[in-house]
Structure 1
Amino acid sequence: MKVKTISRVEKDFTQEVQMDKLKVFRNYDPALHPFERPREYTRALNAVKLERMFAKPFVGALDGHSDGVSSIATSRKSLVAFLSGAADGEIRVWDLPRRKCVWSVYGHKGFVRGLAVAPGGQTFFSCSEDKTVKQWALQIKDEDDDVPTALSTFQSKEPFLGIDHHWSNNMFATCSSKVQVWDHQRSEPTHEFAWGADSITAVKFNPAEASLLASTGSDRTITLYDVRVASSMRKIVMEMRSNALAWNPMEPFNFTVANEDHNLYTFDMRRMKRALMVHKDHVSAVMDVSYSPTGKEFVSGSYDRTIRIFNIHSAKSREVYHTKRMQRIFSVKFSADANFVLSGSDDTNIRIWKAEASKSLAKAVPRERRKLEYQESLKERYKHLREIDRISKFRHVPKAIKKATEAKREAHKREKLKMDNRRAHAKPGAVPHANTREQAIVRELE
């Protein structure tokens, strides 16, 4: 009896090194695969439907505060610990993986306006309306039952409204009616900056330029300061007040501000006469903004009770998160690994969200990871097609937000029609076209 066997040469299927390419027995000539595009479109459509089906962004809620959560801070050195401060002066240190409060203390007699972790991750600072800044040890072990005490206290004559720590040096900045720069070892500020009469609501150090910091004021200004020359560099005045500011950690010459006009504005500090991008979607004042460690996205929290995640190059939000019980949001932060978003609202709760709504928290096996990467490439390839674009962008939002969005859209249409009619009945060039990226900026001062 004659038996035919399949014979293969072993060296054709063996990699000498891991980077060697295996022999491919498939012909990739498009002429031999006429139904390739319809097949890929169907797979992309199924992938985007499954993505929306498995979108479960809410991870958990942390309760324990007895008043609204006013500030949240994360450590750049740790994926475990993060901090929260409340309107009643309570400070809590949390363990993120266990979703548990490690310790808490009533560290201030007033509103906790800001928290900042030192670069080493061993200590953190808190500021309050009781005119004090306190330094604390950042402990994530809960074996010690003693009440935590402040390592040091810094006094001022005015209530503090914000704080930020330098990215590498032992110095931090606070804001009140002026910006003050402090050293860990000194009880008095080393530098003071004042430009204008109104209070300053937020201050942030630049991630790359060690001597540069920016602030937002209640007089609608955004100001840049240089610690080396001990003076203000540049200031722009906007139409409405900015509530928060965040620097891009990967592109440190860019920063984003959260404004009262429901928008966020990304600026290049070298050319501040014009915004790089105007990010729209909120229907009420934006209260806080925080960048992802990757520098490609940022999260914003608003008075309209929603959290939105934006791509830095997109005017529209990629995701919107909301719950029935969540109230006005005053603080948002990305976790150090960019996988989670933390939000604090005035319903006394801190909520944990996934940065990717449909991403599984379990570790993916190699085969599953390859499939997910293939699906992502298909969605990217066919994202311009109508059905895939509609499904991927659709989000359920509360009725009040939907109605407010429709009202804003109608108002924008009416304004556009009015300006078109004015141009049609005026001399050419008499009614110029308004640039959205320049419209919100009143003037620039140097």
Structure 2
Amino acid sequence: MTSSPASADILVRNSRKRTRELFGSDYTSPAPYFKDSPEDPLYLAERAGLAARIRSEYDHVRELPPALAAKQKAATAARRKKPRQEEPESSTAKMIEDIPQKSLSNRSPSTALSLRTSQAPTNPNTSTRGGLPSSSLVRRENIQQPKPEWHAPWELMRVISGHLGWVRAFAVEPNNQWFASGAGDRTIKIWDLASGSLRLTLTGHISTVRGLAVSPRHPYLFSCGEDKMVKCWDLETNKVIRHYHGHLSGVYTLALHPTLDILVTGGRDGVARVWDMRTRSNIHVLSGHKQTVSDLTCQAGAEPQVITSSLDATVRLWDLTAGKTMGVLTHHKKGVRALAQHPIEWTFASGSTSSIKQWKCPEGAFMQNFEGQNAIINTLSVNEDNVLFSGGDNGSMSFWDWKTGHRYQSLDTTAQPGSLDAESGIFASTFDRTGLRLICGEADKTIKIWRQDPEATPETHPLDWKPTLGRQRF
């Protein structure tokens, strides 16, 4: 007897739907067809899979030993005498009840599970939970990977030349009018942010300038360098008004606390020093790192906190009040060279060789990895639009979505004419106060300013994103 073409089409369509419901959960989150129908293919597929798992995992333990059967019968009778509230039945329990016994086993059904072997000793003190499904039978929910937010791609806007050495540090003025840069030529240059023209050159360091910070409440510019010096510049007279003495070697990084008049510096001697900005007194010496302190950041909150990274492959969280370590993050395998703190959220990122990790303040809970950039990460920057920038020692640049860790743009910087191809490393970066301009300092002695493409739309530059099974947020 041959079936009609119409019935064959129905059989093929039902088979295709059943296959999708069985195997589609490995790649997507299947939505059931005929959701209101009693013969829902998703329900039937889950029931069939559950029956197969019960048969394969528990078929040999379906018969209860006589001693346990008698004890369970007495316990069940005693439980029935006590009034109890009706509990809502779970979907999995209902599904197990709907599975016909012949699909589970050809033997007589049992009300409990036990090991069916003659050598196994019986323990009369053991009890089982009859009638309740095991947690191993519950299908785990598919992990819904969040879709990244769309961001416009970044393009090169301006190249500024003027330094005679590697550009190693940046600081943007709070009013977003100008920014300062420090370089290997021992100078600090003030640039107009709108036009890129040079306003001023400050000289005073006798070695490479490695860190800069502009105070949001005072007309002060702070700088540090490999000459062990930490200087405070008065921007009204453009002269040095304070020195902070104490470091035993080069000072590689510094940061100002957002709300307190406190300056924190770190360097090659492996310690971070906390200074009173006005009196120049050394409040704390945060010692614990075994190698150079490469970067640090301060965050305000209920408990003032300092976060430091080091070439000993650790990140330390410090209690600024007590001057002691709150926690040590040892997830990185190689030296951590860069930190970036989100301007709004209580989160930060740390970068080392081929590894960028995101953390939650203040306890330092790990959140996610940013995977894909195979380079030594020298600098990290993040803006309020949840765009994370990472610059590599080989000139590679990556732009990431802060929420999901998706890399939506990657490119290589171009060394300027007359410089070597090896001079394509990126050493410093920062966003301006609006987050619309990205300033990068490079090994070809130039400053490059990037901006988002103003004509880009989700239609002209669609999001290239595919969810993966192995990657989870937490």
TM-score, with structure 2 as normaliser: 0.61
Match of 2:263 among 172, 189, 193: 172
Alignment-derived partner of residue 372 in structure 2? 281
Match of 2:186 among 89, 94, 117: 89
Question: Matches of 1:316 and 1:263 in 2, distance apart?
Answer: 14
Contact 1:74 1:83 (8 Å CA) reproduced: yes
Alignment-derived partner of residue 403 in structure 1? none
Match of 1:250 among 344, 351, 354: 344
Contact 1:72 1:83 (8 Å CA) reproduced: yes
Q: 1:255 to 1:105 in 2, by over 3 A?
A: same
Contact 1:61 1:349 (8 Å CA) reproduced: yes
Question: Matches of 2:377 and 2:335 in 1, distance apart?
Answer: 10
TM-score, with structure 1 as normaliser: 0.64
Question: Matches of 2:166 and 2:156 in 1, distance apart?
Answer: 20
Within a 5 Å distance, the mapping from 1:384-399 to structure 2 comes to 392-393=463-464
Alignment-derived partner of residue 125 in structure 1? 222
Of the structure 1 ranges 156-165 and 336-345, higher mean CA displacement relative to structure 2 is found in 156-165
Give the secondary-structure state (helix, strand or coil) at the position aligned to 1:282: coil
Q: 1:306 to 1:70 in 2, by over 3 A?
A: same
Contact 1:277 1:313 (8 Å CA) reproduced: no
Give the secondary-structure state (helix, strand or coil) at the position aligned to 2:275: strand
Within a 5 Å distance, the mapping from 1:5-404 to structure 2 comes to 57-75=155-173, 77-120=174-217, 122-138=219-235, 148-158=238-248, 159-176=250-267, 177-209=270-302, 211-237=304-330, 238-252=332-346, 254-260=347-353, 262-269=354-361, 272=364, 275-292=366-383, 294=384, 296-325=386-415, 327-354=424-451, 356=452, 358-359=453-454, 376=458, 379=459, 392-393=463-464
Give 1:321 deviation, angstroms: 4.3
Give 1:181 deviation, angstroms: 0.6
Question: Matches of 2:207 and 2:160 in 1, distance apart?
Answer: 22
Give the secondary-structure state (helix, strand or coil) at the position aligned to 1:161: strand
RMSD: 2.7
- Between structure 1 and structure 2, the one with the greater Rg is 2
Question: Matches of 2:302 and 2:265 in 1, distance apart?
Answer: 18
Deviations 1:51-71 (A, max 9, x none): 99xx77111111100001011
Amino acid corresponding to residue 348 of structure 1 in structure 2: K
Give 1:436 deviation, angstroms: 8.4
Give 1:272 deviation, angstroms: 4.0
Amino acid corresponding to residue 229 of structure 2 in structure 1: T
Q: 1:192 to 1:271 in 2, by over 3 A?
A: closer
Contact 2:375 2:396 (8 Å CA) reproduced: no
Question: Matches of 1:337 and 1:298 in 2, distance apart?
Answer: 14
Give 1:270 deviation, angstroms: 5.2
Give the secondary-structure state (helix, strand or coil) at the position aligned to 2:445: coil
Amino acid corresponding to residue 341 of structure 1 in structure 2: L
Structure 1: stretches of 5+ with no match in the other structure: 1-50, 140-145, 361-371, 380-387, 395-432, 439-446
Amino acid corresponding to residue 358 of structure 2 in structure 1: T
Q: Identity of counterpart residues, as a percentage?
A: 20
Give 1:255 deviation, angstroms: 0.8
Contact 2:159 2:447 (8 Å CA) reproduced: yes
Alignment-derived partner of residue 422 in structure 1? none
Q: 1:393 to 1:138 in 2, by over 3 A?
A: farther
Hey, which bits of structure 1, 4+ residues long, moved more than 3 A? 207-210, 269-273, 391-394, 433-438
Amino acid corresponding to residue 97 of structure 1 in structure 2: A
Structure 2: stretches of 5+ with no match in the other structure: 1-150, 417-423
Q: Which protein has greater RCO, CA pairs closer than 8 Å, 6+ apart?
A: 1
Alignment-derived partner of residue 114 in structure 2? none
Amino acid corresponding to residue 65 of structure 1 in structure 2: H
Question: Matches of 1:323 and 1:345 in 2, distance apart?
Answer: 9
Question: Matches of 2:281 and 2:172 in 1, distance apart?
Answer: 26
Q: 1:56 to 1:115 in 2, by over 3 A?
A: closer
Give 1:199 deviation, angstroms: 2.3
Contact 2:258 2:300 (8 Å CA) reproduced: yes
